[in-house]
Amino acid sequence: MSIKIKKWPSRLKRKLRELPLIEAIANRISDRRFRAWQANNPDGTFGDYYAAKTIAHLEEGRSHYTLGQRGKAKDHKAEIDWTPDDFATRALDIWDAILSFGLTPRMKCVDYGCGSLRLGQHAMRYLEAGKYCGMDVVDTFINQGLELIDPKLIADKAPLLLTITPEHLSQVAEWKPDFIFSSAVLQHVPPEELPEYFRRLGSIMSGNCTAHIIYIAASRMKRVKALNWVYPLNQILGAMASGAPGLELIEDRAMPTLGTVEGRKRRAISIRAAA
């Protein structure tokens, strides 16, 4: 007889995963799966692995909290296919938070780890034409989001949509963004790849550019799911110092309007290139 853990209520699964022995076993299984994938994808990063796993999940017709064309209804119970109208109202609380960091319509703005343009669509509506750039590890999520956005908005605002490659990072560095946001991305970056995440961000920042990263806060680093981590601020700043020593912290703030993720609070850091 096999026990299908996927069918168990998510709160029970979470509680079980927090038991130290189960946490250790689950982490070991997750590590082995990543290493097995890496054996066939020797240049692949965890970001690439995250994308591959999530694309496979979406191809099975399953919903995702932020990516693809299928999500959870407002009551968080039923799974629904997004209509363009529903999609247009997604994540407005996070979008308001991004505006509160000081974005204005004339700024050149990068949405780093833009996924299916859940936030990018709001940025395109708000910014002047040619000022929005969405970057992600793969274009699959971006293309799925594009299908849910009014083609007129895309034609009018001419967004720059790019995969994260050395060439595209150089292109964006030359474009000289004023403002970068990265939401719901850091939690999918494992500790050993955090310096590289900051190195890449730092490579596209110059002048007065500021970057604003929304993260899930914790008093100690913890892998909370196979593809999710939570971090304390000192570890995030340590990784930033090692990957992009030219960056400095402007502010770390609580984000009470964004609620919690499985009981953990969201915070945001704002960073800039040191003078």
The contact set with ligand SAM (CB under 6 A) reads 47, 50-51, 66-67, 113-115, 118-119, 136-137, 141, 164, 183-185, 188-189, 193, 197
Q: CB of residue 66 vs ligand SAM: minimum separation in angstroms?
A: 4
Contact 90, 42 (CB under 8 A): no
Contact 50, 58 (CB under 8 A): no
**CA dist., res. 89 & res. 29, Å (int):** 37
Q: CB of residue 8 vs ligand SAM: minimum separation in angstroms?
A: 23
Q: CB of residue 274 vs ligand SAM: minimum separation in angstroms?
A: 22
The secondary structure of residue 78, as a DSSP letter, is: S
Cα of 158 vs its chain's centroid, Å: 22
Nearer to ligand SAM, 119 or 268 (CB): 119
**CA dist., res. 146 & res. 82, Å (int):** 12
Nearer to ligand SAM, 19 or 153 (CB): 153
Nearer to ligand SAM, 1 or 210 (CB): 210
Residue 152: count other Cβ atoms within 10 Å of its Cβ.
8
Name the closest residue to ligand SAM (Cβ).
Answer: 115
Q: CB of residue 44 vs ligand SAM: minimum separation in angstroms?
A: 12
- Tell me the pairing of strands 260-261 and 264-273: antiparallel
Nearer to ligand SAM, 25 or 79 (CB): 79
